[in-house]
Amino acid sequence: MEQLRATAGRLREQVAELEVRARARPRIALAEGILVERYRLAHAQDAFVLLRRASQHANIKLHQLATAVVRTPGP
């Protein structure tokens, strides 16, 4: 029974993480589009790589960085 409870707890955590990712994805896509336009990047994938690297370098969550990009006015 204890093993079942532990498994259920892990599954709840996984579901919560997936929900966060699902809510963040549109914001990340918007930030990608903004970066493509601002920096004249060839592909959204290039923008995602920039976001991911900056997120890792600054040690902040990708969705938080995407929110900052979306909220920051362009040139």
Of 53, 24, 51, 56, the residue nearest 35 (C-alpha):
51
The pLDDT of residue 45:
95
Per residue in 24-65, pLDDT (tens digit) is 899 999 999 999 999 999 999 999 999 999 999 999 999 999
Number of other residues whose CB lies within 10 A of the CB of residue 21 = 12
The pLDDT of residue 2:
86
Q: Which two tokens stand for residue 18?
A: 């997936």
Q: Which two tokens stand for residue 61?
A: 């969550």
The pLDDT of residue 21:
83
Phi, psi (rounded to 5 degrees) for 29: -65, -40
Q: What is the CA radius of gyration of the chain?
A: 16
Using a cut of 0.95, tell me whether the model's pTM lies above it.
no
Report all structural domains of the chain as residue ranges with CATH numbers, in order of start: 2-71 (1.10.10.10)
Better-scored residue on pLDDT, 19 or 49: 49
